[in-house]
Structure formats: C-alpha cells, structure tokens
Amino acid sequence: MLERYSTAASTYAHWIDYQFLLIAVLVGFWLIVAEAVMFWLIFKFRAKDGRPTQYITGEESHLKRWITIPHLLVILCDIVIIVPAIMVWYNIKQVLPPPDETVRVIGQQWAWSFQQAGADGILDTADDIRTVGELHVKVNTTYHFELMSRDVVHSFAVPAFRLKQDALPGRIITGWFRPNRVGTYDIQCTQMCGIGHALMAGRIIVETQQDHAAWLLQNSSPALAGQQVTPGTAAAGLTMAEMRP
Amino acid sequence: MSTEVQHAEPGIFHKYFFSTDHKMIAMQYLFTGMAMALLGGFFAYAFRMQLGFPNQHVPGYGIVTPGKYNALVTMHGSVMIFWVAMPVLIAAFGNFLIPLMVGCDDMAFPRINRLSYQIFLLSALVLLSSFLVKGGPFGGAWTAYPPLSAVGAYNLTPIGATLWLLAVALEFVAFLLGGINFTVTTMNSRAPGMKMYDIPLVVWMIVLASIIFMCSAGPLIAGAVMLLFDQTMSTGFFDPTRGGDPLLWQHLFWFFGHPEVYVVLLPAMGIVAEVVAVFARKKIFGYKTVLYTTWAVGFLSFVVWAHHQFVAGIDPRMANIFSITTLLISVPITEMIFLYIATLYGGSIHLDTPMLWALGFIAEFMIGGVTGIFLGSSGTDIYLHDTYFVIAHFHYTFVPIAIIAVYAGITFWYPKMFGRMLNETLGKIHFWGTVIPFNVIFIPLFITGTAGDQRRVYSYAQFAEQSRPALQHLRTTSTIALLVMLAFQFVFLFNFFWSLRNGPSAGPNPWRSATLEWTVPSPPPHGNFAELPTVYRGPYEYGLPGLADDFLPQSVPDQAVGD
Amino acid sequence: MSASAKPIANTRSGTGIPTVRLITWWVIASEIVIFGGLLATYVMHRLGHPEWTEAASHTNTWAGAFNTFVLLTSSLCAVLAHQAADAHDGPKAAKMLRLTVLGGLIFLTVKGFEWTKDIHEGFVLSSGGFWSFYYTLAGLHGLHVLAGMIIMLIVAADAAKNQELQRVECIGLYWHFVDIVWIFLFPLLYIAR
C-alpha cells in the first residue's frame, strides 16, 4: 500500500510497508465499524414524537457486553500490531547486519556531506571520496552509515529506503541499509534545522557493481590508495576524531 | 439557604478590567483566546498559501521566505496550543462553568483567579512583542529543540527565541495558578449533597486536566530555565561541546508535551459529554467507567512520551517500551469513545447545532485516534516521523479538540453566558462549512505524508520525489479547502456578535438540561444563586420513567418529584 | 466585591480540609515537580560526568552546613508560630514568623558571601556543567526562600492583629517544603564526591 506512494528501494522498506498495510487493515476495519455504528444509532434514535428515551445507566450487563467485547477485540488487535512492529524495529534499529561497506554521513547547516572509502576499499585513508549532496552506493550491498552533525539536530532520511535517523552533534549514530533497486533517490533532512532546512536535499545513487566501480576509479586517486592519514592534518579532512566533542 | 455574602454591583472599570467574578474572567479568557485563534488561523493561511501556490505573493502577507515560513509554523503551533486551546477549553469554560455547576457563588480564590488571567494576558503580549523585534519571532518550531533554539547564530531569531520562551513560561505560571481554583473549588465548594459521582463530567475533566498539567509542567519549567540560561548566560546545558546534551531538552519537553495533549483532550471530551447527554436526552452510558478510563489515560499519559523520539537518537531498546505503552493508552481512549457512542442508544436525538458539533467531534476524533497507531508502532514511525502524516494525525485530534468541541461548548452555553440564543440556521451553515472543508484539508495531507512530504519545509523544489505534480495538486487542494473553512468562520463571528444584541432572549434553561447552571438566570447575576442549591442526584437524570418531564434537575428535592 | 468579603466558595469544605490548606498542597506539589525535574536532571548528569567531582570540591561545605542549620532552626520557629496560631495567640505567631524570616535572611546573607567568594575565584554560571547546575539549583531555591519570606511577612502582619490565623500553618508548610528542598540540595551540591 505504501509502495503506491513511494518507491521501495531497500530490503527493509518492504518490512515497513507490510507493517503499514497490517495497521491500515486493522484500524481501518475498526474505524469503519465504529463510524457505521455511530451513524446508525444517530439515525435509529433520532427524536420521534411519542417515543420516550430509555433510562440506561451503563451498568446493565446485557448492554455492557456491547462495549466489553469490542474492547477486548481491540486489545487483541493491538497485540497483533505491536508484535511485528517491535520485530521490524528490532531488525532495523537494534540489530545491524555485518556491513559490506561503511559510509559517513555528516549533516550541517545546510548540506549533507559524505565520506566513503576510495578505490582501496578502506575508510579513513587518503584516497577516501568526499562528496557533498550526493552519495553513490552499490545495489545489493549492506551498508553501515555513521551519522553525525556539526551544529544542530538534523535528521538523515531516505524515503525510498524507509530510512530515518536524527543526527545529533557530539554523537555518532550508526545505522544500516541495503539497497535493492537501482536508481536515484532523494535524501531529506527531517528535523527543523533553521532557515535552510528545505535546502538540505541530497541524492543517493544506487548503481550496479560495474557502474559504481567506474565511478570510484573516476573519483578516487590511485596514488593515495592505502595511505594512512594523520589526524589533524589537512589530508585528514573530516575524521571521526574531529567530530568528538 | 440565602447568600450570606453581599455582592454589590461593581463599577465599569472594576467590572471589566479588574473583576474577580469568575464569569467575567471566563469572558476575558474566551475573547483573548478567540483573538489569538484569528492570529493562529492567519499564520496557517500564510504558510498554506506558500505550500499551495509556491513562491507567489500571499494577499495580505507578502512573500513567504524560508525564514518567515519557519516563524509562521512555529507561531501557529505555539499560539494554537498555548494561547487558544488551553485558555478556551480550560480557563474559559472552567471559569464560567465550575462555580455554577457545583452550586456556589464564585471560585475559592477570586483574586488569584484574576491574577492568573493577568499573567496569561502578559504572556500573550510578550509573545506578540516578538513580532516587533530584530530577527522577528522565533523560528525553531514549537518544540524548540536545542542547539537550534539555544544559539542565535543557528536560529537567526535570537531575541524572538528568548521572548517565546518567556511567553511560554508565563503561560505555564498562569495555568498553574488557574488550576488552583478549578481543583480546590471542585473539591471543596460543592453544593451540599453533591457527592463525587454527582459532579458533571466536564467539571471532572477540567480538574483532571489541571492536575495532569501541574504534574507534567515542572520538568519543562526546569528545562525552560536551562534553555533560557543557554540562550542568554552562556551556559551549556544542551551544548554537547560543553558536556551538555540536546536529548535532555527533548525528554523534558516531551515528558510535558505528551500529557499536554490529554490536558486539552479531557475538557473537550467533557464538553461533548454534557452536550450528548442533553441532546440525546440520555444518561451518559457508564459515568463511572468514563471516569475510570479517564484516570487510566491520565496516568498512562506520563509513560508514553518518548514515542515522539523514536528516531531521535535514544537507546533503540527504549523505543520498544514506549511503543507498547503508546498502544496501551489507545485502549482506555477507545473505551471512552465507545461509551459516548453507546450513550446514543435508546436516546431521543435532537440534531441542534451543539449536538452536530459534539457528534462531529466523535466522528473526526476517531480518525485522529486510529491514525495514531501508525505512529505509535515504532517500525512504521521510522518512515512516518516528521512527515505530513504526523501533521494530519494531530490535526485530526487537535481540530476536534480545539475547534469542534469548543464550538460545541460555545453554541451550547452561549444562551447561559449572554442571555440570547444564537441563530440555528447560521449555526448549521457554519458547522457544515467547517467540518467538510476540514476533511478536505487534511486527507490530502495524509496522502502527501505517506508519499514522503517532510514537515517544516517551505518548498519541495529541491526534492525530485516530492515534486511530482500529483503531490502539488494535493497540496493546492488542501490550501483551497483551508480558505473555504476560514471563510465560513466569518459566519460564526457574525452569528456570535450579532446575536449578542439581536438574538431571541434565552430563558434560564432553553435546552432543558439537568445540571445546576441552568437553574439560574441567563446570564447569571453576580453571586450566581439567589439561594444556594442543595443537590439530590447525579447530573444526567434523563428519561426517568413515570415523570411528567423527560428529565429531573439535580437540585429539585425528591418530594417535589411527581408534583 | 469588597476585598475582605470572601465568597462562600472559599469557606465551604466538601473534603473536610480547609481550602487554604488545599491551595498550599497544590503549590507545594507543583514546586515538587519543578525541583524534582531539575534535581533528577542534575543527578543524571552528575552520574555521567565523574569529572565534575573536581569542580564540586570548590563548594564551601561549612557555609552549606551552617545554612542547613539556620534553615532547620527557622523551620522550628515556623512550627512554634503554628502552635501559637492554633492557640489563637496572633501576636506570638507573628513574632515566631518574623524570627523565621530572620532565619531566611541569615541564609540568604551567608549565601551572598559564599557566592561572592565563588565568583571571585572565577566560578560563575557559565563555568561549565557542575557550576551551571549549582547556581541554577541553588538560585531557584534562593528565589523561593525570598518569596517565602515576603509572603510570611504579609501573613505575620495579619496575624499580629489576630487576623487570617489559618494562613500561619500554610506558610509554615511552604517553608518546610523550601527546607526539604535544601535538605536534598545540600548533600547533592556540597557533599557528594
């Protein structure tokens, strides 16, 4: 149901979409029933000359049943909803599958910048690729992202992945995603961060192994492959050590 | 028993500006709240015009720049919650109704009551003053998360930010003071014979709301002091580079923020209960159960707050606990709604304007309630957090609370407050002209939110997936529906002010209600009761068999029954 | 309505508890939530920042201890004031209340000297985590002491004329609350290592 409104491009997007559909069906059912009952009662008991009202306190057990039983069924539905909800949450936010690659995502007023391994495949070396506003990733590859902010609270969101995580200054928060559909998708900031909040757009480009390899070679300097970076030097650029308070 | 205290008629200045009469204070809160509602509505007009017709000049406002947009949404949210919903639902109705409904001559502490309004008015003036300062009003969202809200260089509205914070703090003090009177008067000043379960539900609800507010406001007041110091005294309570924590503010804010929604919900449900009972001519189904579920909601409201923070960077394990408690709180609320619907069974329903509003509340609030489940479920909240789905959800709860239930209350008690009847035809036109467009505003926003529209952005031009023409059509539809809804509010304003002078005279009890406020003249005189009443039964004795009339007022002695 | 005429709403007692005591408990309850929130926040921060112990060692424990003694003694005077009010001895109640206020004055004066010294040594509100909390907590408490003193003097003025004696107990309750907050603050700010 959600996929009708937003392309699903990651493995866990589908879990969230199923959960959305489950909730929609269950609450939709109860909403329709409750509204129907209410409108039916309004119609049936509209004021009629000569028909007095009934004196009902609500303690009558044959009437209370009509509340207690639906009430228990609602509780049952709540349980049917909460169990998979927790499972989805657990598998997205609590348990991170081992990464094939790791990228760093840095939010600031008002842009997203990224750091990923260059051709040497190792993060925090001299040939790392640093981009602003655009992140290139491979399809069918599990990524960890290390999210940080330079100033205020931002939020890194990729609707097509169903990914969202607030970025806090002074903290590094790790999450994961595994894209399963080639394409270019929006990155949004989803936490009020000042007047440039609507300008913090980015793109995440999911490409095939070959396309990504080609892009890597174009953007990474082979001469620097494997070289360690001294923290605090110009070559270090933005390192984790810099981000710690 | 006659009134022992002499209430002399006061002079004009004392009557309107320095009155300690609870009814006058109620009017002060009501009119201030209504004026602020016009302002809050204007802000919505401006920012929705930007969203519906991007980057066009907005008539009556100008161009909505990104900075202005942020200020508009911040002020809209803040004004509607703190300066409209709370003063009207709690302070206006609470002040007007409680002494009358419990059968006494005023609030227990009239001068503290007056002080509470004065502080409230001051808070509104402080907020409005932020429109005149350099940088303009605060633009960091009503949730004011630091570091954005703490550092002027980040929010670019430093003076506005501090004025906003002071205004909110003053408003809190005003309502802490007001709560004294609602609670103490209800506990102590009841008419002889009025036991706990004879108290009308609206009075219970306002008292419980005041208690919930008092218990939840403290940590945020502490947080506000800390934020104020961060803004003005170079402290670093929320600054991670100085050992502080931005998440701390979020916890303090939402520990208050979640109970706050029940602080406004409860009085609304109370109003709806009164109206439904009178216009269905029926006792509330399960009065005691309604109370028990309300206490359950009140208690549970303190343990759900972090559902606003699922993706905020809290420990992910915490999210599961809050997801469970959040779904749990839907259980007593569902029961309350079922009880209200059950009250209709066996009744004799008269669809006068107040009843239309009360039934409209139930129908619309249910949509708000069920859509909350999508957000309380932590898994789906990952996607929906900070999208327009959230906005649509809380408007489907807040608009019933702050607009629909308020209109139910105003149309119901207007005759008592002003001694005149409102025009029924205009009332019905206003009702349909509000409720239908309301749905046309927010159903499209459920869709755009599901499609990924994020909150608090003045334009989607930078986002390819949000720039699909279908989405813009939905946004424009929503804006046009808002224009229609706003236009119909003029019908109400006309009806309200015209009827003050030209409406038919209202007797003491035009709706044939059983509660005490309808036993005094409309409007009630200073001191309320010529003879203070004694109470003999509960507030909803409708449909009693064997009576000449279909209701029995609370203060009619038993031996008079059957006369 | 004339200023001295109380509405019947004020004199009724559906719960059996006088209204003036209900309002006192309400005020105390709301203050408990405010101070509770601030204290809980401080305690959580303190637990997460062991390095604050160094900063905390600069607080003057003797001044804090003396102030604790002063406040406790003043609370005793408030109790005696209540006793006098119960015995309908307004002038004596007023005298005891004024002694309580004197205790508050000594408390604030000692605090004044204490803070002057701290500020001279460079410890101000913005000096970092511990000091921000210290000044905020103790400052908020001090404001409540001051407010209590002012209200107490007003109540004493009425009590001296044998008027509104029921308020003596209530301002005494408030004063005990202010005392109890200090009993929490003193170990947490001055002693905790």
Tokens of C12: 């009724």
The answer to whether B337 contacts chain A (CB < 8 Å) is yes
Amino acid (one-letter) located at B387: T
Q: Which of B24, B151, B187, B188 to mutate to test the interface with C (most CBs of C within 10 A)?
A: B188
User: Are B78 and B44 in contact, with CB atoms under 8 Å apart?
Assistant: no
Neighbours of C120 (CB within 10 A): 8
> What percent of chain B shows pLDDT beyond 90?
94
Task: Check C17 against B188: CB less than 8 A apart.
Answer: yes
- Domain annotation covers residue C36: yes
The answer to whether A51 contacts chain B (CB < 8 Å) is yes
What residues of chain B lie within 8 A of the CB of C40, using their CB? Answer: 219
Q: What is the pLDDT of residue A226?
A: 63
Tokens of C186: 């003193």
Q: Which of B70, B76, B156, B311 to mutate to test the interface with A (most CBs of A within 10 A)?
A: B311
Looking up tokens 């909150």, which residue turns up?
Answer: B455
- Domain annotation covers residue C11: no
- Domain annotation covers residue B1: no
> From CA B345, how far away is CA A63, in angstroms rounded?
10
User: Are B419 and B522 in contact, with CB atoms under 8 Å apart?
Assistant: yes
DSSP character string of chain C: --TTPPPHHHH--TTSS-HHHHHHHHHHHHHHHHHHHHHHHHHHHHHH-TTHHHHHTTS-HHHHHHHHHHHHHHHHHHHHHHHHHHTT-HHHHHHHHHHHHHHHHHHHHHHHHHHHHHHHTT--TTS-HHHHHHHHHHHHHHHHHHHHHHHHHHHHHHHHTT--THHHHHHHHHHHHHHHHHHHHIIIIII--
The DSSP code for B542 is B
Q: Domain range for residue B76?
A: 12-560
Q: Show the CA angle centred on residue B219, arms to residues B391 and B36, nearest 5°.
A: 45
Give yes or no for a cis peptide into B523 (omega within 30° of 0): yes
- Domain annotation covers residue B102: yes
How far C123 CA sits from the closest chain B CA (Å)?
12
Task: Check B311 against A52: CB less than 8 A apart.
Answer: no
Tokens of A131: 């981009």
Give residue-wise pLDDT tens across range A43-83.
999 999 888 899 999 999 999 999 999 999 999 999 999 99
Task: Check A192 against B337: CB less than 8 A apart.
Answer: no
Contacting subunits of A (3+ beta carbon pairs below 8 A): B
**Sheet order of strands, A143-149 included:** A129-132, A111-116, A101-108, A143-149, A173-177
pLDDT higher than 90, residue B208 = yes
Nearest CA in chain B to A65: B342
Q: What is the CATH number of the domain that holds C163?
A: 1.20.120.80
Tokens of B64: 């909505």
Task: Check C37 against B220: CB less than 8 A apart.
Answer: yes
pLDDT higher than 80, residue B10 = no
- According to DSSP, the residues that pair with A108 across neighbouring strands are A111
Tokens of B53: 């017709």
How far C57 CA sits from the closest chain B CA (Å)?
18
B-C interface: how many C-beta pairs under 8 angstroms?
A: 145
Task: Check C8 against B532: CB less than 8 A apart.
Answer: yes
Q: What is the CATH number of the domain that holds B29?
A: 1.20.210.10
User: How far, CA to CA in Å, does B447 sit from each of A219, A240, B51, B298, B443?
Assistant: 39, 39, 15, 32, 7
Q: Which of B25, B172, B184, B241 to mutate to test the interface with C (most CBs of C within 10 A)?
A: B184
Nearest CA in chain A to B243: A245
Count of domains forming chain C? 1
Q: What is the pLDDT of residue B15?
A: 73
User: Are B199 and B539 in contact, with CB atoms under 8 Å apart?
Assistant: yes
> From CA B206, how far away is CA A149, in angstroms rounded?
43
pLDDT band, very low/low/confident/very high, at B351 (cuts 50, 70, 90)? very high
Give residue-wise pLDDT tens across range B259-290.
999 999 999 999 999 999 999 999 999 999 99
Q: Domain range for residue C117?
A: 18-191
- Domain annotation covers residue C35: yes
Task: Check B148 against A47: CB less than 8 A apart.
Answer: no
Q: Show the CA angle centred on residue B491, arms to residues B489 and B493, nearest 5°.
A: 70
Task: Give the B window 439-498 contacts with A, CB below 8 Å.
Answer: 447, 450-452, 454-460, 462-466
Q: What is the pLDDT of residue B5?
A: 45
User: How far, CA to CA in Å, does B73 sit from each of B7, B46, B312, B481?
Assistant: 46, 9, 21, 18
The separation between CA B37 and the C-alpha centre of its own chain, rounded to angstroms, equals 11
Give residue-wise pLDDT tens across range C25-55.
999 999 999 999 999 999 998 888 888 888 8
Q: What is the pLDDT of residue B25?
A: 97
What residues of chain A lie within 8 A of the CB of B458, using their CB? Answer: 198
Strand spans (E) along B328-486: none
Give residue-wise pLDDT tens across range C134-148.
999 999 999 999 999
- Domain annotation covers residue C8: no
Task: Check B462 against A198: CB less than 8 A apart.
Answer: yes
Q: Show the CA angle centred on residue A179, arms to residues A176 and A184, nearest 5°.
A: 120
C interface with B, Cβ–Cβ < 8 A, is 1-3, 5-10, 12-15, 17, 19, 22-23, 26-27, 29-38, 40-41, 45, 49, 125-126, 128-129, 132, 136, 140
- Domain annotation covers residue B531: yes
Tokens of B408: 């139910």
The torsion angles phi and psi of B42, rounded to 5 degrees, stand at -65, -40
Task: Check B219 against C40: CB less than 8 A apart.
Answer: yes
Task: Check C22 against B184: CB less than 8 A apart.
Answer: yes
- Domain annotation covers residue C63: yes
Q: What is the pLDDT of residue A11?
A: 97
- According to DSSP, the residues that pair with B505 across neighbouring strands are B420
Report the length, in residues, of chain C: 193
- Domain annotation covers residue C34: yes
The 3-state DSSP class for residue B197 equals helix
Count of domains forming chain B? 1
Q: What is the pLDDT of residue A244?
A: 38
Task: Check A45 against B349: CB less than 8 A apart.
Answer: yes
pLDDT higher than 50, residue A234 = no
What residues of chain C lie within 8 A of the CB of B217, using their CB? Answer: 30, 33-34
Q: Does ipTM exceed 0.90?
A: yes
